[in-house]
Amino acid sequence: MGYMAFLAVMIIVYALLFRHFMWQFEAREYSFVAGFYWTVTAMTTLGFGDITFHTDAGHIFSMIVTLSGVSFMLILLPFGAIRLFVAPWMEEQMRYKPPLELPMDTQGHVVLCGWDSVTRTLAANLKATGVEYVTIESDYQRVMRLDEEGVRVVYGIPTDARVLERVRVEQALALVANMSDTDNTNLLLTTRSICDTPVVTVVTEAERADLMQSAGASHTVSLREILGGYLAVRATTRGAMSHVVDSLGDLLFAEIPAHGTPFCGQTLTEARLRSRAGVSVIGIWERGRFTLPRPDTRITDGMVLVLVGERENL
């Protein structure tokens, strides 16, 4: 605020001096607004417009205003901005101390290496079932952001044996390796040099599963293979075969392709799924669009019905 106040006072003083010198040296009278305009033009080095001095004394005053503007706006103002905005941000960064280890008595937790949408969902499910987790992150800014979000995180390199020891990997329920295949291999070898904790490895290519198991992986998961299999089943299934996609207590949410079922051509009222099977239709997928069902909605061959019901009914 001091810099801005000083700048405002400087402009006002120069504007007043401009009016005075114009009248004193050249017998011309200008308003304060014109003086303000001339001062800003001179200080910002934008050039002089229709208002200029024609005497040497006026030219000297113009040079003083221009040089002071250059000195302040190009030198002092950036330093002021650094002090007001950049320095506090840097101090905040320096003041933050990322978590470096877990308590010595931590056990029965899951160590996550490689934070993304997959491990985020896994962490939420672990938390819902009462299982503690911790993720290892090597990026300082990301550690701070995750810590602010309430994610249990430790700062360090996942493939570093000392970092693994600080997250009590030897007392963990399991370790999930969700990085690149190369990093996962290094992580497996490092973990096996410390303990025999089960390691679940996410592989990008199913062909590398054997390599991961040779390096010490307890289980390998190929997300592409799982997704491809699910899409293939969903696209080719005929008949009343439902696929569970989520759950809420005893209720399960499932999808069933209408293709090949006796419900095609019927409305939801005519299909009587609630009375015949004990399930309810809560949504419909058709050509990539999700819509809410109505009693008069007619089931077509290309629809996928979203059902809710208990396991035995599905």
- The answer to whether residues 182 and 150 touch, using CB atoms and an 8 Å cutoff, is no
Which residues of the chain form beta strands (DSSP E)?
110-113, 133-137, 153-155, 174-177, 199-203, 219-222, 243-248, 251-257, 280-286, 289-291, 304-310
The widest CA-to-CA distance across the chain, in whole angstroms, is 102
Instruction: Kindly give the confidence (pLDDT) of every residue in the chain, 314 residues in length, as a single tens digit, with 9 standing for 90 and above.
Output: 666 777 788 889 888 998 888 888 888 888 888 888 888 888 877 766 677 788 888 888 888 888 888 877 777 667 766 776 776 767 766 677 889 999 999 999 999 999 998 899 899 889 888 899 999 999 988 998 999 899 999 999 999 999 999 999 999 999 999 999 889 999 999 999 999 999 999 988 777 888 888 888 999 988 877 777 766 765 665 555 677 777 777 788 888 888 778 888 899 888 888 888 888 889 998 887 888 988 898 998 888 888 898 888 87
Domain boundaries defined on the chain: 2-95, 110-225, 239-310
Architecture of domain 2-95: Orthogonal Bundle (1.10)
pTM: 0.54
Fold adopted by 239-310:
Alpha-Beta Plaits (3.30.70)
May I ask the CATH class of domain 110-225? alpha beta
Report the C-alpha dihedral over residues 80, 84, 90, 92, rounded to 10 degrees: 160
Antiparallel, parallel or unpaired: β 174-177 and 251-257:
unpaired
